[in-house]
A and B are shown apart, each in its own frame.
Chain A
Amino acid sequence: MTSVTTEAYEAAFDAAVAADERIEPRDWMPEAYRATLIRQMAQHAHSEIIGMQPEANWITRAPSLRRKAILMAKVQDEAGHGLYLYSAAETLGVSRDELLDKLHTGRQKYSSIFNYPTLTWADVGAIGWLVDGAAITNQVPLCRCSYGPYARAMVRVCKEESFHQRQGYELLLALSKGTPAQHAMAQDAVDRWWWPSLMMFGPPDDASAHSAQSMAWKIKRHSNDELRQRFVDICVPQAESLGLSLPDPDLRWNEERGHHDFGAIDWSELTEVIKGNGPCNEQRLGQRRRAHEEGAWVREAAAAHAAKRRTAQHTEPREATA
């Protein structure tokens, strides 16, 4: 390809992005755009399937049949969301096996939030309210992401996620209004999940490696700090209605800014978790690898059976034509 053509392609791509048109799989796109998307979609998909674990931890102990059904449906949705996202990533020419392999060997990441343990039943509620709440705040703008398949997958994901956050809130409300032991359980969970949830929005804008380019490409629509602020502002009144407090002595309304001020985030903790030193890094990745390895014989069997049937079809004698 001559450089003149590349320039023409690049101009067409830039014009499409500027006009808020969607980029589709077979369109020309800059290699760096493709690589960024693959990295982000893969990490997003990995987060969905690793994210099944902390909640699945409570399926067999759910304290009522109604809660059990809700939790099973939610964890199932997460598997489904992982599938939508892998499927969107595959439109860029990578296979799901490649991506899973990168997850299993630690070459691609998943959201660090899932490296925290679910110690009590209330954690299921805190995850729904805070972790899913933060995820939705992050994800709603992705429904307008410039890459068509990613945006479409996110529309589907966001539509289904709304029940996730509500069930978490309702669960915490029942505990908060329940016995003193239940209330304490709920407060303890919120205390543990609040700060990690704020870290889900990523490093502050001035320290974010990929943000500026992603915003220019309209993969990202709002900065990390902007979304984090939005989330804090949403959560404060919700916590009040729950009758639970948020563990931040510096949290207060700032009339001038029209937003809540909040305390400094301990980024050194997040860095440690990302490096693999979180409480559950080993455990989560270990379970994922084990499920994959122990399932290999099942996947092989189905592939072998399909191959046998194809061979049988090809060798079957043709019916004589009368």
Chain B
Amino acid sequence: MDTAAALALGDDALVLSHRLGEWAGHAPVLEEEVALANIALDLLGQARVLLSLVGDEDELAYLREERAFRNLQLVEQPGGDFAHTIARQLYFSGYQYLLYERLAADGGPLSGLAAKAVKEVAYHRDHAEQWTTRLGDGTQESHRRMQRACDALWRYTGEMFRPVEGLGLDAEDWVLLDAAWTARVTEVLTGATLTVPEGPRADAWSAGGGREGLHTEPFGRMLAEMQHLHRSHPGASW
């Protein structure tokens, strides 16, 4: 079992779950409170399984410094408006679905977990795609907001397809995953009357940054909030 790979995928799920949890009590409609919490809970469940493969889940979540986290920069980006949250979900769940589908099929050490998770993620992706369609092709304002969110997060999408060591995927696999992801996202965005962003999908900072422990400023504040109570009572159990 390659712990570095489990840590990378576990941190993705942990951090995105936390970001979605920030919506509690703030969602645009009550039905969406329930939907976002469902997704957050699925991700937290995945994170706990993955982190437990590496060590103690709470030590890993609460006692690591920012530079020791291996999640993508995409998932740590603040929620912004609902459009930003949906764009982040669209990009990430599309990636996670393809990756887990692949891992589930190859019989490797993560295949059992991936097979269970891929069912959950199929729903996350569907949720994001449904909303992308409605916001993109809804009102002028929603179209503008959704386009702005897709554009803003585009620069974090290249990092997703930088090979993660220990997953048993070779360079060509990652190229194929990227192509499948791009095709799907293009189809959804176009169907939603949105333009596929044109900017670079990575810059010098974001290219592979998160996977190497290099994060963006909002992440530090997120961890400060998440870890504060746990760290204030060293050794306590909860």
Contact = CB atoms under 8 A, between A and B. Distances in A.
A–B proximity contact (CB within 8 A):
yes
Interface of A: 49, 52-53, 56, 59-69, 72-73, 75-76, 79-80, 82-83, 86, 121, 171, 174-175, 178-179, 181-182, 287, 290-291, 294-302, 304-305, 308
Given A65-B57, A69-B45, A73-B41, A301 B238 contact: no
B230 A64 contact: yes
Contacts of B38: 76
A300 B142 contact: yes
Query: What is the predominant secondary structure among interface residues of chain B facing chain A?
Result: helix
The size class of the interface chain B forms with chain A is 35 or more
B33 A60 contact: no
Interface string B126-149: 000000011101110110010000
Contact of A305 (B61, B134, B230, B235): B134
B21 A301 contact: no
A83 B34 contact: yes
Contacts of A82: 30
Contacts of B57: 65
A73 B36 CA distance: 11
28 contacts: A52-B25, A52-B33, A59-B22, A60-B18, A63-B62, A63-B230, A64-B230, A65-B58, A66-B48, A69-B41, A69-B44, A72-B21, A73-B41, A76-B33, A76-B37, A80-B34, A174-B238, A175-B238, A179-B236, A287-B25, A287-B26, A291-B25, A297-B142, A297-B145, A298-B135, A298-B142, A304-B139, A305-B134
A302 B138 contact: yes
Contacts of B30: 49, 79, 82-83, 86
B62 to A, nearest CB: 7
A175 B237 CA distance: 8
Interface string B53-81: 00001100110000000000000000001
B34 A75 contact: no
A302 B29 CA distance: 11
